[in-house]
Copies of this chain bind each other. A is one copy, B any other.
Amino acid sequence: MKLDAYLKAQQKRVDRALDRHLPEPKTHPAVIHEAMRYAVLNGGKRFRPILAIACAEALGGRVRDALPIACALELIHSYSLVHDDLPSMDNDAFRRGKPAVHKKYGEAFAVLTGDALLTHAFHILAQGANAKILPYILSELTHAVGSKGMIGGQAMDKQISLAKQFDLAEISYVNIHKTGQLIRMSCVAGAISAGAGKKWEREIALYGECLGFSYQIVDDIMDGDGFAKIMSRHEAREEARLLIEKAKRSVKPLGARAGILTQLADFVLNRKE
């Protein structure tokens, strides 16, 4: 299957599921529910949920088992962006060409909207994930996006920007944690939902880890930031390429089933936005 068509079809599917899983905009108090939908239903690429679904399918799982988990992952991604855009954090006024949540609804409601999206992610998981896998997937997910994972990466990113300098170890920590952990976890979540077993969970975790790290390096190259500041663009690009090769090798034993995963890995390296 052509990757473009696959991405479009999955994006539509995820968008429909997100719309279903989010409370109606008029739910009381309306401001918070409107803001939640504004933050999520914004034409995002849905890369993390698509990764979860693709990994689940590659390992023989069913989309309907992966879909609620995929939605939870996207809500966590959305909450992290809402809080990241806040004036005290990155102070970004725009997100995907539209006013950031704090610009549209004010800072207090942006804090609360992020909190609500994070909480709702776990609500979806509680209701949608198979009860047998819930303790394990919840434990892994909260670790991946907690203070030793995604939030740890955001904290280090802030420390770096306050210190106005960083070294390779620090910027690697940010890339692996701030961006990488949720991407890695999206792949692992797909594998867990498919009941793939420990061996394949580990392979898929490696695939996701390489994808997540190179995703941020490519971002850095595009923005002339982070990694691209402490090595040449050529070196950074080479680093990203090696990671993508490693990712592809880790799923090679899946044979024909690795098709989409291989294409997704190349997509991360070659994307232009």
Contacts and interface: CB of A to CB of B under 8 A. Distances in A.
A126 interface: yes
Interface in A183-231: none
Given A31-B155, A125-B138, 12 more contacts: A29-B156, A32-B147, A32-B152, A79-B115, A88-B107, A88-B111, A89-B108, A108-B158, A119-B142, A119-B147, A123-B138, A126-B136
B83 A146 contact: no
B89 A111 contact: yes
Contacts of A119: 118, 142, 145-147, 151
Contact of A138 (B23, B122, B143): B122
A98 interface: no
Interface string A119-149: 1101101110101001110110011011110
A122 B118 CA distance: 11
Residue of A27, A32, A107, A109 ringed by the most chain B CB atoms within 10 A: A32
Contacts of A142: 119-120, 122-123, 126
A152 to B, nearest CB: 5
Residue of A107, A143, A147 ringed by the most chain B CB atoms within 10 A: A147
A38 to B, nearest CB: 13
A114 interface: yes
Task: State the copy count for this chain.
Answer: 2
A109 B155 CA distance: 7
Contacts of A148: 23, 27-28
B33 A115 contact: no
Residue of A109, A114, A126 ringed by the most chain B CB atoms within 10 A: A126
A136 B125 CA distance: 11
Contacts of A143: 123
A125 to B, nearest CB: 7
A101 to B, nearest CB: 12
A116 B152 CA distance: 9
Nearest to A161: B108
B123 A155 contact: no
